Amino acid sequence: MFASLKRFDIHVKTVEGVNQQTIVGALFTIFSTILIAVLILSEVSYFMKIDVVSRMLTDKSSGVEAVKLEFDLQFYDIACNRINFIQEVTRGTVHIHEPGVVEKFALDDGVTLGCHVRGANLIDKVGGNFRFAIAPPELSNNRQIMPGQSSNFSHVV
């Protein structure tokens, strides 16, 4: 039985120019092959497993990384000249972006004033917010622009 086990030895000993297969080498080869197969199968099963997590963690990395923010919206009852993209960060600075960053296209169906807004922006990982203000930029911080008048702000993101 042990003689047939020697043929599995891939770590042959060289004794005075003669290659010699040993039982210890065969056992080592069989053990390492089984271990490699178990590790590969466990990695494949871990990769295929779906893990549902019911919590969120905050990103604690520093704010030096930038995140690309892409948006594509349609406002159905607002003219393009009234929509502005405004970004505020916790440092108190307000960024009103150039027309190249935010593209606006009028929805030309002949019935409504709609506007299609899309764009992309690199933002830092710092606290803050962004919004689409429905007013000229100089009036965007006011709470009420036209008191007593309702507006239709319906949109699709």
Q: Are residues 70 and 111 in the same domain?
A: yes
Query: Which residues constitute the domain of residue 124?
Result: 66-141+151-156
Q: Are residues 94 and 129 in the same domain?
A: yes
Local structure of residue 17 (DSSP, 8 states): T
User: What is the distance of C-alpha 117 from the center of its chain?
Assistant: 22
Single-letter amino acid code for the residue at 127: G
Tell me what pLDDT residue 34 has.
Answer: 97
Residue 81 inside a domain? The answer is yes
Output the tens digit of pLDDT for each of the chain's 157 residues.
666 777 767 666 666 666 677 788 888 889 999 999 999 999 999 999 988 888 877 777 765 677 788 889 888 888 888 888 777 777 655 555 554 578 888 887 666 678 888 888 777 777 777 788 776 545 544 444 455 556 677 777 7
pTM above 0.75, yes or no: no
Cα separation of 107 and 154, whole Å? 14
Direct distance between the N- and C-terminal alpha carbons of the chain, in angstroms, rounded to an integer: 72
Q: Are residues 73 and 136 in the same domain?
A: yes
Q: Are residues 43 and 70 in the same domain?
A: no
Q: Are residues 37 and 70 in the same domain?
A: no
DSSP for 88-133, please give it: EETTS-EEE--TTTEEEEE--SSS---EEEEEEEEEESSSEEEEEE
Local structure of residue 4 (DSSP, 8 states): H
Q: Are residues 71 and 12 in the same domain?
A: no
Tokens of 10: 């891939």
Q: Are residues 76 and 131 in the same domain?
A: yes
* Domain count across the chain: 2
Residue 56 inside a domain? The answer is no
Q: Are residues 44 and 70 in the same domain?
A: no
Tell me what pLDDT residue 142 has.
Answer: 47
Q: Are residues 70 and 136 in the same domain?
A: yes
